[in-house]
Amino acid sequence: MKEKLAGVVLGAGLFCFALAAVVTGYLPVAHLSRIEYKTLEQIAPEPSSEFKDLARRYPASFGKHYGKPTAAAFHKALRKGRDIYIAEACWHCHSQFIRPVSNEDVRFGKVSWAGEYMNEMFLPHLFGTRRVGPDLIRENGRHGNDWHAAHFWDPTQVVPTSVMPRYPWFYDGAEPNARGIAIITYVQWLGSWATPEARAARAAATSASAKKKETR
């Protein structure tokens, strides 16, 4: 059996593969699926302050590509920004999760938890396996839009030692174009749900709804 074709194909080929897929794939996935999956509209109902700031900073380009800084325009920019993040392989040099070891919480911020990834913006996930540049999942609020605009144009202008490539195709003339606005919006949005204010607001909302349930 163990040296014959049927044994090799069924035992090693199918059984061992399926066993591993169940134990290390299905089990964690089933476990995590108890967390509710959310759409972008659910997790980010309002346009971010950074997005509104981009509308003020680059009125011509912003108006041409995104119109007014509405929620719909915000979602369009975020989705496009995520796609650019994938297409340019940003995820090969920047990770998107904070580990509970090696002082990462001191350097970057709150340790990652499973719930923050259960939404459409992490389908596919963008955890990454290499950090040439820093982790980005707590990037929100770290730099201003002008810093990012200068940085994507030429990273060494703001970080002289940087080895990050330049992205001049994110710009038309002196203003970021549709792609530039999208990638800045996306990167600025990463971790906006993990700031102390956002977490306090969420906690308040959760306890309020819990109270409502109790009184009902």
Partner 1 sequence: MSAASSKAAPAKAAAAKDDGKGEASAAPDASAGPLVDRKAIKAHMIAGFVFFFAGLFAGMLYALQFSRLYPFPGVELLSPGRVRMLHTQSVAYGFLLNLFMACMHWIIPRLTGRPVLSKKLSWIVFWAWQATIAAVGVTILMGYGQAIEWGETPTFLDPVIILGAALMIANFATPIIKAAKGKKLYVTLWYFSAMMIWLPLTYAMGNFVPQYFVPGAGGAAITGLYIHDLVGLTITPLGWGMMYYFVPIILKKPIWSHTMSLVGFWGLAFFYPLNGVHHFFFSPIPMYAQYGAVMSTIAVELVVVTVIANFFMTMRGSGGALKSSLPMRFFFTGMVLYGITCLQCAFQTTLTFQKVIHFSDWVVGHAHLVMFGVFGSWCIGAVVLLWPKVTGRAWWSHKLNAWNYWLTTIGIVVMFLDLLVAGMVQGYLWQNLSPWEQSLVSSMPFWHLRSISGIAIVSGQMLMAYNMWMTARQPAEAGAPARAEKAEAMGAAVGAS
Q: Please identify which residue in 63, 122, 157, 199 interacts with partner 1, judged by CB under 8 A.
A: 122
Segment contacting partner 1 (CB under 8 A): 60-68, 106-114, 195-203, 208-216? 106-114
Preceding omega of 155 cis (within 30 degrees of 0): no
- How many angstroms separate the Cα of 72 from the Cα of each of 44, 67, 89, 191, 193? 10, 10, 26, 20, 19
Q: Please identify which residue in 56, 64, 92, 202 interacts with partner 1, judged by CB under 8 A.
A: 92
Beta bridge partners of 119: 38
User: Which residues, at least 6 apart from 107, have a Cβ–Cβ distance to it below 8 Å?
Assistant: 134
Nearer Cβ to partner 1, position 11 or 144? 11
The angle that helices 178-189 and 49-57 make with each other, rounded to 10 degrees, is 150
Nearer Cβ to partner 1, position 67 or 134? 134
- Per-residue interface string for the shown chain with partner 1, residues 131-170, x marking contact by CB under 8 A: xxxx------------------------x-xxx-xxxxx-
Query: For residues 100 and 55, what is the distance between their CA atoms, to the nearest angstrom?
Result: 37
Nearer Cβ to partner 1, position 27 or 204? 27
Query: For residues 79 and 135, what is the distance between their CA atoms, to the nearest angstrom?
Result: 20
Using the rule CB under 8 A, is 5 a contact of partner 1? yes
Segment contacting partner 1 (CB under 8 A): 69-77, 94-102, 192-200, 207-215? 94-102
Which residue type is seen at 90?
C
Q: Which of 101, 90, 206, 197 is nearest to 148 (CA)?
A: 90
With beta carbons less than 8 A apart as the criterion, state whether 108 and 134 touch.
yes
Measured from the CB of residue 17, what is the shortest distance to partner 1 in angstroms? 6
Using the rule CB under 8 A, is 3 a contact of partner 1? yes
Using the rule CB under 8 A, is 41 a contact of partner 1? no
- Per-residue interface string for the shown chain with partner 1, residues 70-89, x marking contact by CB under 8 A: ----------------xxxx
Query: Would you give the distance in Å from CA 164 to the centre of its chain?
Result: 19
Using the rule CB under 8 A, is 4 a contact of partner 1? yes
Segment contacting partner 1 (CB under 8 A): 47-55, 59-67, 105-113, 189-197? 105-113
Using the rule CB under 8 A, is 199 a contact of partner 1? no
Using the rule CB under 8 A, is 68 a contact of partner 1? no
